[in-house]
Every structure is written in C-alpha cells, then in structure tokens.
Chain A
C-alpha cells in the first residue's frame, strides 16, 4: 500500500518538467484561450431584441456597428472581432440557453455586455463556474461589483447606489433643511436606489419624511404625488422609469408643488421624458449624468462627440442619435476594445479579466469630460463618477464638480 503513490510522484515530476519546458517556450509566443486566434477574437453578447425590453436592442446594434468600424480599420492588433449577439427576449431561462450556446457551441472568448438584471443574475453563476468573463454587464444593480465571490463578472455604468449617494452628498451640502419625499419603483432598481440614498445620508437619514412606492402595473402615479405634496416636503426624489418620471413632472406642475425635484439618471433623457412632460414643466429639475446627451447641442463641437457622430453617419446611419442607448452602446464597446488592446497577444480569459481590472483613467468619447473609468483587482465598478445637472430651457446644464459616488465599504 505504501508503495502506491510512487508512480504518481514520478508522473507528477514528468508533468512538471514537461510543463516547465512548454511554458518556457510559450512565454515568447502568443497565448490563446478558446475564442481567440491569430486572426480572430470571438465576443458573445445577449440582448433583448424582442420582448418587453426590446427598446434596448439598439445597444447591441450599436456595438455591432462599432466592432464593424474597428474591423474596417484593421482590427485589434491585427485580429478581427467576430461579434455574436443573441436574443433572449428579456427572459432569464432563454438567457441561460443563449449563454451556454455562446460558450459551448460558438466558443466565445468573453460574454460582453449582456443586458438586464434578471438575465445577468441567471447566467452569472454559470459563467463564473466556467471561468468565462462576463464583462461590462448592462445593468445598474450594485451587486456586479463583487470580485471576491464573482471574479469573472464586472459592471460598467455607475451603480444605482453610487448615483443615489451623489444626491445624498449634494443635499447634505446644499440643502441642510431638506425635508425629503421619495417616490420609488417597487423593484430591485427602486430599492437599490433607496438603499444608496439612506446609506449616503447616514446619520441624517431622518431628513427623509415620506416614502411612497409604486408598481409598474399602475396606470398613473398621480395619487402618490398628491399624497407626497401633502407631507409638506421641500425635496422630491423621483426614482422611476421614463414613463412614470414624465407623469410625475407633469403632475407636480399641475398641482403647483414648489419643490426641489431630483430625477434619477435612468429617466433624465430629454427625448423620452422631458419633452413629453413639457419643457415648461421641467425647468429647474435636477439630475446627475455620466455620459453626454446626443440630443444636446452643447456637444456639437466636442471632439469626442464629433467622432461619435462620424461613426454613426458611416456605420449606423439609421440610428436615432437622441436615443441614450446609442451613446451607451458606443461607450461600452469602446471600453471593450480598449481592454482587448491592452491584452495584447495574451488573449486568455484570465488576462482579459486582469486587463479589465486594470483600467486607469480611461475616458470613452461619449462620457462627460472628467468622468474616467478606473478599475482594480478589488474594484469592479468601472464608472463611479457623475456630475450634477439642472434643466434649463430645452437642455441640461451641468454644474458643480464631478462627484464620485464610490462605495467606500
């Protein structure tokens, strides 16, 4: 019995020697995982091209167009990007099927920017078990920044909690006598925001005097507004999706509630919220932003946005430049390309993940001046800065400094 392990040691020793020899020669060479080769990098993606969230499908189309541009310009270090994007109809079981198809059948190097909190939750465990990078997911939930438990998953946009902390910081500084009324959507998005707000206010969370939640199934939120007005609050924080945000802006003007109104970034779009609610009703509303607004004329001469408009003209002419999703898709695709460039000839999944976690002061063309992407081995939240903005006339006016909503815990 005692003599049994001997052959194993011998085998192990042989293996170690063989490995040492191989890795010695491999150092000088290019390294690839499944999905990368001398000529090609395969990138997988999952988008809701159909179903309730199909409006976001534009993001996938923008990314496809952007990678087409990169390929037309010679690719990344001579390698062409093969972008494989599937539809999950915003259904988690379908997302699992598509993720497995990408990894096991198409054999992609990374799964990039899959959209939606439920879909990403469904595939997170699988991708981490398979050690496939789930890079720059398109959702603002805070849970994607968890390098310890999920070292293969990384977010991109500022999390709802960091944005909410920025409002908290702003209020504590600018409005010490605030009596805050909050209206939030009763789901993960709304609750994440609420938590960030309370954490940000800390000891001062007693400034919140009223909270109202609404369901997406409600036809109108007018009664919540009337109720909140009655509390006598002087700050109203509006954590809602575009349709409801527009209703709230209109109703507040109607009931003549003179209040400091903060709208979440999700619903800060001029095209889909402010314009339908009426410009005259939206004067003075506050929000925070991290990306430039394609509808805003102040960026017409901005070099970054000029590049963006030129790209749209050549590679995606049918795009609606007022749609925030187009700006988003461009920025996130640019980040992906940057990471692949940094990975050089070492296109292993581990190295791509390592490079994604070593972004330093990277600024995609469509982000606000001063907002920069920074990541590290312990910080998987690429964008954490936003700037406050106030609505004036027919557009947003930025003011104050770039504020970081970094979660310190």
Chain B
C-alpha cells in the first residue's frame, strides 16, 4: 500500500471525546443562557441583528459539527444545504404566503431528504474525497439556483425579497428583537436535541464509525445507514439555519450562498473545536466578527489580516475554543483546591 493510500484510508485521528466533555456543565449553561437572553435588552437593533446572525451561523456550524465531530465525515458543501433551506423558506413565504414559523420545519425536512440522498453516493467516499464531492455540491448550487427553469420561483439572479415578521400578539418589541428571541428558542431546542442525539444509541453509533469504521460494523452498527443519517440530520439543521437566515436578512440570492460560506462554516467548526457542540457559537462569532476586526485594522489587506489572525488561532490553540475551555476549567479547579 502506498503512502498516499495510507494517509487517505487511515481514519482521521480524533481523540475520543468523553460524553461530558462534549457539552457544558449545568452551571455554565445557565450563565450562557442568561447572557443570551439579557444582552439584547440593552443594545441597538443593529447589534441584535448581528447576534441573530451569530445564532443562525452557530446552528449551521453545530450541524457541521454533528457530521464531522460526530460521525467523522467531512463536508465543504454545507452552503448548498443552507441555500436550499433559505430558498425553501423564502419561496414558501413569498409565493405561498405561508407563516414564517411554519416554513422552517419544511425547510428542515426538505434539507434532511436532500442530505440523506446526497449521503448515499457519498458513502463510497471518505476523507479528502468526500470533502471534494461536497465541495462540488457547494460550487454547483449558486448556478443551479440561477437556472431559467426555476426562475419563476427563485427570482433567478435577482433573488427574492422576504418580508420580515412583526412580533406576534402585539408584543412591545422591535422586529429584530422578536426575531432574535425566536431564533434563540429554536437554537436552544436544536442544541438540546443534538446533545441528546449524540448521547443516544445513534450518537454512539456515529462516534463508533468515526473512531473505527471496521470495528463499528463488527459490533453490528449499520455503517451505511448511520453515515447517511448523519448527513441527513446535519443537512436538516443547516436547512433550518438557512431558513432563519433568509428571514433575518430579508433577501435570498444565489450570490449569498457561494463556496465562501461553506468554507466559513468549516472554519467556524475548527475554531470552535471539532466535536465540541458549545464551541459552535464561538466559531460562529469568529466568522462573523473577526472579518470586521480585520477590516478595521486594514481595509486593503483585510483578507491578509484575517489570514494572520486565523493562523494565530490555529497555531496557539489547535483544538479551538474547546482547548481554551479545558484550560480554563483546570485553572478554576486549581483555584478551588487552594
């Protein structure tokens, strides 16, 4: 066997994550939750909008985390699922006059189906080859959305403008604040469900496949089923995030869902810590705020500054936010002992 094949066939060495290390403790969770609920009360609508986008990208990163961190499959095609979710919501809202909240489960289901189907041929691929196949999906998606055949629904290159929902029941809050809490509720729901999924039988099957496919199948795990299932679940959650994104941005166009988005999400996952679900939100913060910081440092060289910052993060904390969290935990533990 050649060296190249060795590298490709060898499962990526991800250290086994103990169940508890995958989430936050109850105390920390409550503090984070309280922060997420309280912060929007005192800031401008623009910041609330950014926080909403933070949660939405957080969801998309979480979805990728389940796929890569959970079942060990790479994907650079998340932008395609995100686009399908966004367009599903936008088309249902604008052409079928459907309530925005109802479009989200539909976006999720359609993307689940789409991801599950894509997972079938992807079964034959692993590692970098799978990453390339999903990359193809991400490159193809914006062009598919421009096809004249779909133009009646998608609006072609012009995209679709989406109406932003008002707060229901005459609640005295701005559209942005309502949308934030709406997104927060969905995010918390999906987060809890994802944690439970990874702790369940299926989750253990995902991780068994990630750690060693042959051993997993020897233990009776239906590798094909669980691999495609992981794709489906990941795509479904990404679809819901896409739908929320369409409502928050109020606009969908093919140019919004290019390969750049897929790479950003992948980056968010790595920065947040592969396989550590709470890291998703930190990864999402990285992909939203760091480009702005980079632009603040130098407009002409924003890309280069972003690259340097990214390099520093990967160099100093290769396991991302998870590593920082572990170090912090140890420090607190030491302080308590003293």
* Chain A residues within CB distance 8 Å of chain B: 49-52, 57, 61, 85-87, 89-93, 96-97, 100-101, 103-105, 117-118, 121-122, 124-126, 186-188, 215, 217
Contacts and interface: CB of A to CB of B under 8 A. Distances in A.
A96 B157 contact: no
A336 B45 CA distance: 28
Top 10 closest pairs, chain A to chain B, by CB: A104-B46, A122-B251, A118-B255, A118-B253, A92-B256, A188-B157, A93-B249, A100-B46, A187-B157, A92-B253
Contacts of A104: 44-46
B49 A91 contact: no
Contact of B302 (A50, A96, A117): A50
Given A93-B245, A96-B251, A105-B44, A118 B300 contact: no
A121 B253 contact: yes
B195 interface: no
B133 interface: no
Given A52-B258, A90-B255, A96-B250, 9 more contacts: A49-B299, A87-B295, A91-B255, A92-B159, A92-B251, A101-B46, A118-B254, A187-B157, A188-B158
B255 A92 contact: yes
B329 interface: no
22 contacts: A87-B302, A89-B260, A91-B261, A92-B159, A92-B253, A93-B245, A93-B249, A97-B49, A101-B46, A103-B46, A104-B44, A105-B47, A117-B157, A118-B158, A121-B158, A121-B161, A121-B251, A122-B253, A122-B256, A125-B251, A187-B156, A187-B157
A124 B158 CA distance: 12
Main secondary structure of the interface of A (DSSP, over half): helix
Contacts of B156: 187-188
Nearest to B146: A187
B144 to A, nearest CB: 11
- Candidate in B53, B157, B258 with the most chain A CB atoms within 10 angstroms: B157
B29 interface: no
B157 A215 contact: no
A51 B259 CA distance: 11
B137 to A, nearest CB: 15
Nearest to A188: B157
B161 A92 contact: no
Contacts of A91: 255-256, 258, 260-261
Interface in B100-151: 143, 146, 148
A54 to B, nearest CB: 9
B267 to A, nearest CB: 14
- Candidate in A61, A97, A103 with the most chain B CB atoms within 10 angstroms: A97
Contact of A50 (B49, B161, B303): B303
A126 B164 CA distance: 10
A125 B253 CA distance: 14
B256 A118 contact: yes
A104 B50 CA distance: 12
A97 B50 contact: yes
Nearest to A52: B258
B94 to A, nearest CB: 12
A96 B146 CA distance: 21
A86 B156 CA distance: 27
Interface string B230-258: 00000000000000010001111111101
Nearest to A60: B299
Contacts of B258: 52, 91
A95 to B, nearest CB: 9
Contacts of A51: 260
Nearest to A57: B300
B46 A217 contact: no
A156 to B, nearest CB: 19
- Candidate in A61, A89, A215 with the most chain B CB atoms within 10 angstroms: A89
Interface in B14-60: 44-47, 49-50, 53
Given A104-B44, A121-B161, A188-B158, A92 B299 contact: no
B295 A122 contact: no
Contacts of A90: 255
A263 to B, nearest CB: 22
A122 B249 contact: yes
Nearest to B255: A118
Contacts of A122: 159, 249-251, 253, 256
Contacts of A61: 300
A339 B249 CA distance: 31
Contacts of B49: 97, 100
A61 B299 CA distance: 10
Nearest to A189: B157
A217 B53 CA distance: 30
- Candidate in B47, B255, B260 with the most chain A CB atoms within 10 angstroms: B255
Contacts of A121: 158-159, 161, 251, 253
Contacts of B252: 92
B46 A105 contact: yes
A87 B300 CA distance: 10
A105 B292 CA distance: 14
Contact of A49 (B159, B161, B302): B302
Given A97-B49, A121-B161, A85 B299 contact: yes
B249 A96 contact: yes
Nearest to A54: B303
A50 B295 CA distance: 10
Contacts of B261: 91
A121 B303 CA distance: 25
Nearest to A86: B295
A188 B146 CA distance: 10
- Candidate in B148, B299, B300 with the most chain A CB atoms within 10 angstroms: B299
Nearest to B147: A186
Nearest to A50: B303
Contacts of A215: 143
A96 B13 CA distance: 40
Nearest to A91: B256
Contacts of A89: 260
Contacts of B256: 91-93, 118, 122
A340 B253 CA distance: 33
A186 B145 CA distance: 13
A251 to B, nearest CB: 24
A118 B251 CA distance: 9
B166 to A, nearest CB: 13
Interface string B248-286: 011111111010110000000000000000000000000
